[in-house]
Amino acid sequence: MSTERLGPTSYLVLGLLAREGPSTPYELERHVGATLGNFWSFPHTLLYTEPARLVTLGLATERRETEGRRRRVFEITPAGTAALVAWLDRPSAAPTELRDPGLLQLFFADLASPEARLRLAREQLAIHQAKLAAYDQDERLERRPGRSLAGKRTFEHWRGETLAMGLLYESAAVAFWRRVVEGPAARLAADTDLIGVPDGSNVG
Amino acid sequence: MSTERLGPTSYLVLGLLAREGPSTPYELERHVGATLGNFWSFPHTLLYTEPARLVTLGLATERRETEGRRRRVFEITPAGTAALVAWLDRPSAAPTELRDPGLLQLFFADLASPEARLRLAREQLAIHQAKLAAYDQDERLERRPGRSLAGKRTFEHWRGETLAMGLLYESAAVAFWRRVVEGPAARLAADTDLIGVPDGSNVG
DNA sequence: GGGTACATGTAATCAGTTACATGATTTA
DNA sequence: TAAATCATGTAACTGATTACATGTACCC
């Protein structure tokens, strides 16, 4: 069996199907958007085509609604669960890909005008501040009392844990771009307290 | 002119050709590996095919050595420089892609055994600690006296600045995974001082 | 002079993206 | 009932990855 034709997207879908039960591509999209989608984009078309691929591999089944929107509902198979668990049992050693167009532009900023460089830094700072604020908002909603259903407890925890990394990254990015805005004179990544408390106080 | 058939890889090559002058794919590869390649991987084959594409677009020229390895040397054209500067003048708004297989596995760690989860966290911690140590080593070499040639000064600065973001990210990752290793009890991303001084003291 | 690491490429494939398109539900 | 938004998909394309392959220089 070609068990090694599976990529990150495959495991994303398998994992969501395992945790959330039978799902439509749209439901997958919603879940992704609320979690990993914050820092790892999965175009919606992927979440329509990937489950179909999993079906051909015997890792999921497809059922089509007969009424209304006639949506396709996918469900994980035992083989799918096995593949997922096997993947989880073998920690990935692949390095993080940090693909940031802004950083790429900064890398070449010496080839353009100082004004362009400053504009870049300011826009990037704004972008990351906005993202950071969105995380904070998210977290506040999350902590809202009366929302942690018993069964959802575990999921919410893992969700929060993973999002914490995204939040941490955005904090770092804000600190970084702020330094860039302040100019080359400021020493970079050489001070303590580069990253403050991510509680929103460093967003404005 | 199809000026919008250019992606990040195109600008990477254009930028390097602009800054370093005529280069072979292998030279491009070396430069990338020492800088952006630390957190944004560009497979070496890309650096052979992409320059060729730029040639067809009139943004670079190709010359082939006659002796020895008969390497292909690429040089940026005025049109190429123009495209590069135009890109730098229009700051990108595309969000950062943070594609981390380890985080993906953590996100689904509740579907496997607690042991698998702990193993994952430990391995990720080790990976990021090693990366952080490598950055430190790099920086130490960089600061070595008698190495900053006058003409190289500017480049070295931008290089260092961009690398600082990678270093900052690794610091955050180390702090993050350490918390994960310590268990769910520890509150995540809610304390001050999550990220220590990136001087190597937190690598061991 | 044989092995190893360095260096240079080609070709096929495929995951991911872009472009396009339409149906269903809600709201005003 | 028209407009807007939500939801659901297909198909073409292409940038990136994988697999393969070979030549050159260096070292022992």
- Cα–Cα distances (Å) from B187 to A157, B2, B8, B93, in that order, read 11, 51, 38, 33
pLDDT value at residue B147: 42
Question: Cβ(A121)–Cβ(B162) under 8 Å?
Answer: no
Q: What is the pLDDT along chain B (204 residues), one digit of tens a residue?
A: 456 789 999 999 999 999 999 999 999 999 999 999 999 999 999 999 999 999 999 999 999 877 767 789 999 999 999 999 999 999 999 999 999 999 999 999 999 999 999 999 999 999 999 999 998 887 776 655 544 434 455 556 667 788 899 999 999 999 999 999 997 655 544 443 444 434 444 443
Task: Classify the phi-psi angles of B165: left when phi > 0, otherwise alpha if psi is within -120 to 50, otherwise beta.
Answer: alpha
Using the CA of A50, give the nucleotide whose C1' is nearest: C15
From the CA of B98, how many Å to the C1' of D22? 37
How many CA atoms lie within 13 Å of A21's alpha carbon, on the beta-carbon side? Answer: 0
Contacts of A36 in chain B (CB under 8 A): 103-104, 107
Instruction: Give A145's DSSP letter.
Output: T
How many CA atoms lie within 13 Å of B33's alpha carbon, on the beta-carbon side? Answer: 10
Average pLDDT over residues A120-129: 96
- Share above pLDDT 90 across residues of chain B, in percent, rounded to a whole number: 67
Judge whether B86 is closer than 8 Å to chain A, CB to CB.
Answer: no
A178 sits within 7 Å of strand D by its CB: no
- Chain B, nearest residue to A9 by Cα: B104
3-class DSSP assignment, residue B91: coil
Compute the distance between CA of residue B28 and CA of residue B12 in angstroms, rounded to an integer: 9
Q: For strands B72-76 and B60-64, give the pairing.
A: antiparallel
Question: Cβ(A72)–Cβ(B143) under 8 Å?
Answer: no
- Cα–Cα distances (Å) from B117 to A92, A99, A169, B107, B189, in that order, read 12, 26, 22, 10, 19
For an interface test with A, which of B98, B131, B178 has the most A Cβ atoms less than 10 Å from its Cβ?
Answer: B98
Longest dimension (CA), chain B: 66
Give residue-wise pLDDT tens across range B54-103: 999 999 999 987 776 778 999 999 999 999 999 999 999 999 999 999 99
Nearest to A103 by CA among A117, A87, A93: A117
Structure tokens at B101: 């297989």
Question: Cβ(B135)–Cβ(B167) under 8 Å?
Answer: yes
Contacts of B35 in chain A (CB under 8 A): 107
pLDDT value at residue B136: 85
Inter-chain residue contact B107 with A198, CB threshold 8 Å:
no
**A67 vs A150, more confident:** A67
pLDDT value at residue A147: 42
Nucleotides of C under 7 A from a protein CB: 7-11, 15-19, 23-25
Structure tokens at B11: 């600008």
Question: Cβ(B36)–Cβ(A107) under 8 Å?
Answer: yes
pLDDT value at residue A108: 95
Q: Which residue has the tokens 């259903």?
A: A149
From the CA of A123, how many Å to the C1' of C28? 38
From the CA of A45, how many Å to the C1' of D7? 12
pLDDT value at residue A142: 61
